[in-house]
Amino acid sequence: MNMIRNISFFLTYTIVQASFAIAQVSNDPAVSFKIKPLHPVAELRAEALKDTPPQESGDFLPTDLVELIKLDPTIKTEIRYATTNNFMGTPMYTEARAFLQRPAAEAVVRANKKLHELGYGLLIHDGYRPWYVTKMFWDATPPEDHIFVANPAEGSKHNRGCAVDLTMYDLKTGKAVSMPSGYDEMSPRAYSDYAGGTPEENEHRAILKKAMEDEGFHQIPKEWWHFDYKDWKRYRIGNVDFKDIK
Cα–Cα distance, 21 to 29 (Å, whole number):
18
Give the C-alpha separation, 171 to 160, whole Å. 31
What is the number of other CB atoms lying within 10 angstroms of the CB of residue 82?
19
| DSSP per-residue string spanning 160-184 | TT-EEEEEEEETTT-PBPP-SS-TT
Q: Distance between CA 189 and CA 196 in Å, rounded?
A: 7
> Looking at 78, 201, 215, 223, which residue is catalytic?
223
Do β-strands 217-219 and 226-229 pair in parallel, antiparallel, or remain unpaired? antiparallel
| CA proximity to 95, closest of 206, 194, 242 | 242
| Residue 96 Cα distances to 80, 135, 167, 237, angstroms | 8, 20, 17, 21
Helix, strand or coil, per DSSP, at residue 99: strand
Is 78 considered catalytic here? Answer: no
Sequence-distant (≥ 6) Cβ neighbours of residue 46 within 8 angstroms? none
For the annotated catalytic residues, the residue numbers are 223
